[in-house]
Every structure is written in structure tokens, then in C-alpha cells.
Structure 1
Amino acid sequence: MDSTDEFLGELPLPPHVTAEDATFAVKAVTVHVAKQWPDGLRCRNDRAPHPCRLHRWGRRVLDLRGLTDRQIRTLLAEQNAPQP
């Protein structure tokens, strides 16, 4: 975590994870992926140390929705696949 994360803390989770929350979570983990920078892995979107707050929030929401790591990886691969 960087100093911003330490100051702001984690994003709160929704009390009941809905399908809409899961859709936002997939978007968060798709957009906020790791990228190698000279100083280490950082978020491609906001350059915060990876995993950034939104990526962590998205993973926690998907975990609460009951998705396994394998299912999450499959979802992300589908989201990143080129569209015909």
C-alpha cells in the first residue's frame, strides 16, 4: 500500500453484493491491472502500487459473490479478449 491507501483505507464493500456490484467489480479489476514500471508493479490506470484500492475492492466483491480465483481469471480473460 502507498501512503494514500494508508490514509484513505479500503473502499467499503456493499452490504449485499448484487449482480450490478459484480459488474462494477469486473470492470475495476479489468481496468486496474498490474503493469511493470521501473520502480516495480503498478496499476496501469493510476500508477498506484499494484494491487491498487479499486483492484482490491473488485477482487473482494467478486470473492463475496462466490467466484473462485479460476472463475475470476476466466472472466478477466473474456473481458480482455479481442471482440470480433
Structure 2
Amino acid sequence: MQSIDEVLGELPMPPYVTAEDVTFAVKAVAVHAAEQWPDGLRCRNDRAPHPCRLHRWGRRVLDQRGLTNGQIQALIAEQDASQR
């Protein structure tokens, strides 16, 4: 049986990465974070093997925007703090 990632393929990138795209990408990376399972890392949101489609899309958008890992982690922390 094929995985959902193989069937659906990658999410398309926006033609131009806007500030709104960055907001969505940070949310995708935060919500679709890795979680340890007995069979390995899985997405904590949809239980797909990590990194799932939305996590990969978010990272590609943030990479295209030129953000470093440290900047991405800071944005995720900022988002988490604003939701409390």
C-alpha cells in the first residue's frame, strides 16, 4: 500500500513567498512537529512519517524566504507564546 505522501505528492510552492505565506509556514512547521513513536518519528498532528507533507512545505517556504533554523525556532516560540 502506498503512503499518502506518495499518492498526493508535494504541496506546490507559492510563486512569491509573502509575509502571509511565512505565517502559514511557521504554523505548519509548529503544528506538524516530530513526535517519537515506537516505529520512529511521526507527525504529531496526522501521524504520518515525519516530516509530513505540511511540515516539508513549511520548511521549503521558510528556506526560500532565507530564514535560518534559529530564526524559524524563534518564530515558532513567538507563535506559541502568543497562543497562551
Same fold (TM over 0.5): yes
Q: CA deviation at 1:80?
A: 3.0
Percent of aligned positions that are identical: 78
Q: 1:38-71: CA deviations, max 9, x gaps?
A: 1111000000000000000001001111111121
What is the one-letter code of the residue matched to 1:49?
P
Q: CA RMSD in A?
A: 1.7
Question: Where does structure 2 lack aligned partners over 5 or more consecutive residues?
Answer: none
Q: CA deviation at 1:83?
A: 6.0
Q: CA deviation at 1:77?
A: 2.4
Which residue matches 2:24? 24
Q: Partner of 2:42: helix, strand, or coil?
A: strand
Q: CA deviation at 1:27?
A: 0.6
- Give the structure-1-normalised TM-score: 0.88
What is the one-letter code of the residue matched to 2:53?
R
Q: Partner of 1:41: helix, strand, or coil?
A: strand
- Give the structure-2-normalised TM-score: 0.88
Question: Where does structure 1 lack aligned partners over 5 or more consecutive residues?
Answer: none
Q: 1:16-53: CA deviations, max 9, x gaps?
A: 00011110001100100011111111000000000000
